[in-house]
Structure 1
Amino acid sequence: MPDWIIVIIKSVALLVILFTFTKILGSKHISQINVFEYISGIVLGGIVAIHTIEPDLNITYAIIAMFIWFLIPYSVERISLKSKAFRNFTEGKSTVFIQDGKIMEDNLKKEGYSSDDLLEKLRNKDIFLASDVEFAVLEPDGSLNVLPKRENKPLTAKDLGITLAPQKEPQTVVMDGNVLYESLANLNLNKSWLEAELAKLNVSIENVFLGQADTDGQFYVDLYDDKIAVPSPSEKPLLLATMKKCQADLELYALSTENVTAKKMYQQNSKKMQQAINKIETYLT
């Protein structure tokens, strides 16, 4: 058999094995690797590379070596789940850099970080004054997590005493011109609703590259034809405008009628409508 055919066969076979081992190790092995996992990954890749470009090498030896280097990190990961001491040894521990607003110089030196390195990490978090930080910790993967001082945190709805309605994640309901029925069901919507929304925009589903909907039923689309402008969802502003018009009409009716009973009814309903507007205006704007 020609060498080039052997190289192709071995490349495909070893790639499939490497892919399988990586999937078994899990996504954590890809997104957050420690030093031990990093070394294992290099060795596995090296084994595949060497046995791919050398047709004379026995592929059985490659498979045995790959299995050993797969088994070691896999076993280490399982043991780490049961033993914190072992996990600290293989994955490392978090190191506090700033505590109670004070920089821990000894911990910086221990991890080989200078003050410039710390400031660079803080700037990556959009913090330019170290004095604005209450707590900062260096994670085993090298990222710095920062807790700003309370007065430097952005205001939230909770800080302002505003209660917001629960909200689920938006769902992609159309992709590449195809309806994703499971995503529609997650929002308690159906194809009839989707067809009605597309009719409002005067577009067919085949022309939709991507369509997304949120928990409020707002529909956002991107078309294959970028020259066609699609209006933004307007249900919320229209609802708020309609409520304000109703409230204004009730006030107008109260002023224009001479009937005492009718005037009182209009005034009461106008106040109720205003109270409803005050409660949901923040939600609709």
Structure 2
Amino acid sequence: MPDWIQITIRAVSLLVILFFFTKWLGMKQLSQLNIFEYITGIVLGGIVAIHVSTLDSPIYFAVISMFIWFIIPYLVEQLSLKSKTFRDFTQGKSRVVIQNGKILEDNLKKEHFNTDDLLESLREKNIFKVADVEFAVLEPNGKLNVLPKRENRPITAKDLGLDIAPDRETQTVIMDGKPLLEPLANISLNPTWLEAELDKMNVSIENVFLGQVDSDGQLTVDLYDDTLAVPSPTQKPLLLATMKKCQADLELFALSTENEQSKQLYKRNSEKLQKAIDQISPYLR
């Protein structure tokens, strides 16, 4: 058999085996790998590279080597799930490096993290002053998590005492000009509703690159043709405007009628509608 065919077979076979071994070990982003997992990844890749090009070595040598480097990390991972002491030893543990705006130099030295590294990590969090930090933790993967002091945190609706509408996951209902039935079903909608909404926009589904429905049930679309303008959703502002108009009409009726009983009736209903408007306005803005 020609060498190039052997190399091709070895490469494809070992790549498939490496794929399944990696999948069984678990999926993590590169930044989340601990030291042991990082070493394992390098060694497995090295085994594949060596045995793909070394035709004198039987391919089962590579499979045995890969299996050993698969089974050891797998067992370590299982033990780590059951023992925190073992997990701390193999994966490391978090270490506090800033507390109450004060840098803990001894903890930095233990992690071989110098001042420049600390300041760089803080700048990545848009923090340029150590005194603005309430608490900072260096994670085992080298990532710095920071809690700014209360006066330096962004103001939230809760801080202002504002009521806001609950938010749900936005569902993608159109992709590449085709409707996606499962996301529509997740929000209790159907293709008929989708077609009706597209008709209101005077848009054909074939011209929609991406369509999404937000937590309020409003459809927004991005078209293939960027020169076409798509109207923004108006259901919520229109509903709020209609309620305000009804409330204003009730007040007008109360002022224009001479019948005292009707005047009180219009006035009471106007007040009730105004309360409803005050309660629902945060959800319709």
For Structure 1 versus Structure 2, the TM-score category normalised by the shorter chain is: over 0.9
**Conserved 8 A contact 1:177-1:209:** yes
- Measure how far apart 1:31 and its partner are: 5.5
3-state DSSP class of the match of 1:28?
Answer: coil
Task: Name the CA distance, whole Å, in 2 between partners of 1:148 and 1:30.
Answer: 27
**Conserved 8 A contact 1:7-1:55:** yes
**Residues 236-251 of structure 1: matches in 2 within 5 Å?**
236-251=236-251
Q: CA RMSD in A?
A: 1.6
Residue deviations 1:105-162 (CA, integer Å, cap 9, x gap): 1111222222232222111111122111111100011111111112222222222223
Q: Which residue of 1 aligns with 2:139?
A: 139
Residue deviations 1:166-203 (CA, integer Å, cap 9, x gap): 32211111112222221112112122211111111112
Q: Which residue of 2 aligns with 1:79?
A: 79
Structure 2, unpaired ranges of 5+: none
**Residues 249-268 of structure 1: matches in 2 within 5 Å?**
249-268=249-268
Q: Which residue of 2 aligns with 1:223?
A: 223
- Measure how far apart 1:35 and its partner are: 0.7
Task: Name the CA distance, whole Å, in 2 between partners of 1:119 and 1:158.
Answer: 31
**Conserved 8 A contact 1:29-1:37:** no
Q: Which residue of 2 aligns with 1:56?
A: 56
**Conserved 8 A contact 2:31-2:141:** no
**Residues 63-142 of structure 1: matches in 2 within 5 Å?**
63-142=63-142
- Measure how far apart 1:43 and its partner are: 0.6
Task: Name the CA distance, whole Å, in 1 between partners of 2:93 and 2:13.
Answer: 38
Task: Name the CA distance, whole Å, in 2 between partners of 1:148 and 1:135.
Answer: 7
Q: Work out the percentage of aligned pairs sharing the same amino acid.
A: 68
- Measure how far apart 1:82 and its partner are: 0.6
Task: Name the CA distance, whole Å, in 2 between partners of 1:282 and 1:126.
Answer: 30
Segments of 4+ in structure 1 off by > 4 A?
Answer: none
| Aligned length in residues | 285
- Measure how far apart 1:223 and its partner are: 1.6
Q: Which residue of 2 aligns with 1:177?
A: 177
Worse overlay, 135-144 or 189-198 = 189-198
- Measure how far apart 1:80 and its partner are: 0.4
Are 1:163 and 2:152 matched, yes or no? no
**Conserved 8 A contact 1:22-1:29:** no
Task: Name the CA distance, whole Å, in 2 between partners of 1:5 and 1:147.
Answer: 57
Residue deviations 1:57-100 (CA, integer Å, cap 9, x gap): 31111111111111111111001001111100111010101113
